[in-house]
Amino acid sequence: MWVDSHCHLDAPEFDADRDEVVSRARAAGVSQIVIPAVGAFDFEAARDLAHAHGFAYALGIHPLYVMKARDEDLATLARLLERHREDPRLVAVGEIGLDFFVPGLDADRQELFYTEQLRLAQRFELPVILHVRRSADQLLRGLRRTVVRGGIAHAFNGSRQQADTFIALGFKLGFGGTLTYERSLQIRRLAAELPADSLVLETDAPDIPPHWLYATAEQRAAGQAQGRNEPAELPRIAQSLAHLRGWTLEATAACTRANTLAALPRLAALMRT
């Protein structure tokens, strides 16, 4: 059984065939999916999808959405975390974090939302799912100030030193479609060399397509559509990790599943149902 630790199943890209996407995932052996919200506008959608399909969800405000978020969205998040605190499918606060790659984002506003959401995770004793893009050191600084119950550094792309620091703070590191590109030397090196108990698998669907779904700018200009990523791709993505580690697929599934359950402890009960 595979666990997709990060999939935006609520994204509009899945509106036309969401049930079929779920069916393909299950046929591929993906038995559990974590659906992280990205803003107050989809808090209930993420929760409803998790309950409808037997999956898990997280509630949070993504750094790419903080410019459109209202200050009162933090109060809304706090209220829903309180209301649903006994919901076994609520497994984390997320997706939260910092993004210093995309231009035009207000760094101070990102920091405000990140800090306040870490405090909420601490208050409700939940792990966090972190967005890490050119922001690892700043995220780690926040985690030292506000200690939380670990979680997952999603789509990790930092240095080995940064990876080791996240791990020391109780985090697992998420790897997905980028693993499948031979030119992703740093990420593939980390996936090969980091401690086995620090790795989790994800798709970030519909984003971060593996190499077999990717269309170059030239191909897109010629009319070829970019392939949509979906959770059914996870076992094939896992083959890249298995190759890098010298593992069987069965061992890869068992290890990454155990690591995801360790990062998001409420998942364990869901996996038994």
The number of residues making up the chain comes to 273
Q: What is the pLDDT of residue 223?
A: 72
Average pLDDT, rounded, for the chain: 96
Q: Write the pLDDT tens digit of every residue in 38-97.
A: 999 999 999 999 999 999 999 999 999 999 999 999 999 999 999 999 999 999 999 999
211 marked ligand binding residue: no
Report whether pLDDT(154) > 70: yes
CATH number, span 2-272: 3.20.20.140
243 known member of a binding site: no
Q: Is 62 annotated as a binding residue?
A: no
Which residue in the block uniquely carries the two structure tokens 């959608």?
A: 45
What are the sequence ranges of the domains in the chain?
2-272
Task: List pLDDT tens digits, range 110-134.
Answer: 999 999 999 999 999 999 999 999 9
Residue 273 has pLDDT above 70, yes or no: no
